[in-house]
Amino acid sequence: MEIQDFIESGILEAHLLGLTNKEEKELVRHMVEENQEVKEQLVDIERDLTRYFNGSAATPPTAVREIIHLRSGQDNFRKEKHTFKNSASAENSTKFLDVEVNDTHIKVHKFWRPAFIAVFILSKIFLIAGLYYYFKAVNQEEELLRLKTEIHQVK
Amino acid sequence: MSELEPIKNGVDRQSIARRSEDMTSLEVYDKYGAMAYGIILQIIPQVHLAQEVLVSVFSSPQLQACNSYPFSFVACVIKLARAKAVEAKRKITAIAPIADPSNTSDTSPAKIFDLSFCQGFTPEEVAEKLNISKSEVLRSFHEYFKLYRNA
């Protein structure tokens, strides 16, 4: 395939937009590795894409940044492998953990869910069993009392 | 190979525009957050849902892959934002299906770009919908950005 045909085929744009399949990705990779012209074209397309999407950019609410900050902070704290900085700067970022949260909710591990369900079911079982044996004991007591009075009457 | 998997050897990385050093998710957000939000809103017009997707993009571990992406960071963010938004849109349409927006008579590059990028159809699906070949669909992307460049 001629270089110009390849560039005009739109496969580079599709690749940068995430619209290519496995074979096409391989083809783009091969062409980028082999041809300086394709590589330069790719840079130009990237620039166009950036300009195009910056044209439709919208400023998100500031709360979104806070949430991302909290979530990424938590992720970095939990999983050190998911850090994006080099080791020195990552060390600095994890030294202090921002714990100022304007939230009335707490988060617990997902394993607490089955634990709570198990505790709830067990409490119901014990409640029913307790009531059953309570009423059974009351009935037995009444029966005992009735039998005692019968024995007294017979005497 | 995943969407964000790097193209490894052989690429002269100096010639390709990219960031100078690895960035944190917040740094990436500060730089590309507005652009990603714009992309997500194009795919999901519901503001609250779009904001949820935006959070998922920038708190995603997949964003780490952009640090080793061979091209510019922006291309990686565009891909990730679109992928997350399309995934969310598919979930919504699975619950509440919407009418097919495609008009088979319109095969303009803008329409093809909208179907592929915003509506989440693959180039093969777009080609089938519009009764054109896949190569014509791909060529439309080139035409679309060529028109944009010359506008």
For chain A, domain boundaries:
3-55, 59-107, 109-155
Spatial contact of B125 and B80, defined as CB atoms under 8 Å apart? no
With CA atoms as reference, the chain B residue closest to A59 would be B34
Token representation of residue A20: 């290519």
pTM over the 0.80 mark? no
Chain B neighbors of A75, CB-CB under 8 A:
59, 61
B11 contacts in A (CB within 8 Å)?
A: 32-33, 39
Topology at the third CATH level for domain B13-95: Rna Polymerase Sigma Factor; Chain: A (1.10.1740)
Cα Rg of chain B (Å, integer): 17
Instruction: Give A110's pLDDT tier (boundaries 50, 70, 90).
Output: confident
pLDDT (tens digit, 9 = 90+) per residue, B33-68?
A: 999 999 999 999 999 999 999 999 888 888 877 766
**Interchain CB distance below 8 Å, B59 and A45:** no
**Where do you find CATH 1.10.1740.10 in chain B?**
13-95
pLDDT in tens, B110-119: 889 989 998 8
B32 near B77, Cβ under 8 Å?
yes
10 Å CB burial of residue A4 (0-12, 13-18, 19+) is exposed
- Would you say the C-alpha torsion B37, B43, B49, B52 has a positive or negative sign? negative
Q: What are phi and psi of A85, to 5 degrees?
A: -95, 170
Nearest CB to B22 within list A61, A68, A86: A86
